[in-house]
């Protein structure tokens, strides 16, 4: 991803305001991307990485693993960068051809359909809490085993429950704690991870320590 002078200045301000932190170098790259995209420093204390989430995600990207996202805003936010690097397929749950069901939202039904089609994919849920819940139900039922789940939906009804269930799963994941989150946050995480993966597997050799 190309950075301009103003980007560098903004990132320098973020670094200065954050100061010391507990994240690894790779995790911090993701954190500062999220803060840069949102101008919200609270994400510093809300973002969570499961063990080896970045390593698993980067390896899956390099292996051209399919990405499944919940809403078009996430798809639009990540596709250009994906296409300029590993060119992974990106599918959106809202565009999946499914039979309507009253007990599920379109996003939930669509991501469930795509998850069964790509059970070891990378799943990015930026907005629809119902999609995250549907995804976790498939994980808990051992129907799918994603390479990585990124869960950042905001909400007031059961969104914290869905995120806690993701935390308790054994699936590599990156999540935002509590009520906050958005498609913008999800896209920032993916694009940051793509850059880390490209450094490690694409143009250069390296690691994600």
pLDDT in tens, 61-106: 999 999 999 999 999 999 999 999 999 999 999 887 666 666 788 8
CA dist 111 and 130 (Å) reads 10
Q: What is residue 48's predicted lDDT score, i.e. its pLDDT?
A: 97
Phi, psi of 120 (to 5 degrees): -115, 25
pTM of the predicted model over 0.85: yes
Q: Which residues pair with 148 in a beta bridge?
A: 122
Structure tokens at 163: 């995120």
pLDDT digits (tens, 9 = 90+) for 123-143: 999 999 999 999 999 999 999
Cβ atoms of 47 and 176 within 8 Å: the answer is yes
Residues 6+ apart with CB under 8 A from 91: 66, 67, 68, 69, 114, 118
Question: Strands (DSSP E) along the chain, which ranges?
Answer: 47-49, 67-69, 90-92, 122-125, 148-151, 173-176
Strand partners, 48: 175
């Amino acid at each position: 991803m190309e950075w301009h002078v103003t980007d560098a200045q903004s990132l320098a301000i973020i670094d200065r305001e954050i100061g010391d932190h507990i994240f690894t170098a790779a995790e911090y790259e993701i954190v500062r991307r999220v803060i840069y995209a949102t101008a919200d420093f609270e994400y510093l204390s809300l973002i969570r990485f499961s063990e080896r989430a970045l390593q698993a995600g980067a390896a899956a990207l390099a292996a051209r693993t399919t990405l499944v996202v919940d809403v078009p805003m996430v798809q639009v936010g990540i596709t250009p960068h994906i296409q300029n690097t590993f060119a992974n397929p990106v599918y959106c749950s809202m565009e999946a051809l499914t039979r309507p069901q009253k007990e599920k939202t379109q996003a939930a039904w669509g991501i469930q359909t795509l998850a069964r089609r790509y059970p070891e994919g990378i799943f990015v849920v930026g907005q629809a809490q119902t999609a995250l819940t549907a995804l976790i139900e498939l994980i808990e039922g051992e129907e799918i085993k994603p390479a990585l789940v990124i869960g950042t939906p905001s909400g007031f009804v059961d969104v914290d429950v869905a995120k806690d269930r993701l935390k308790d799963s054994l699936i590599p994941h990156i999540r935002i704690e509590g009520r906050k989150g958005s498609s913008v946050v999800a896209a920032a995480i993916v694009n940051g991870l793509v850059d880390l993966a490209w450094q490690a597997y694409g143009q250069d050799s390296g690691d994600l320590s």
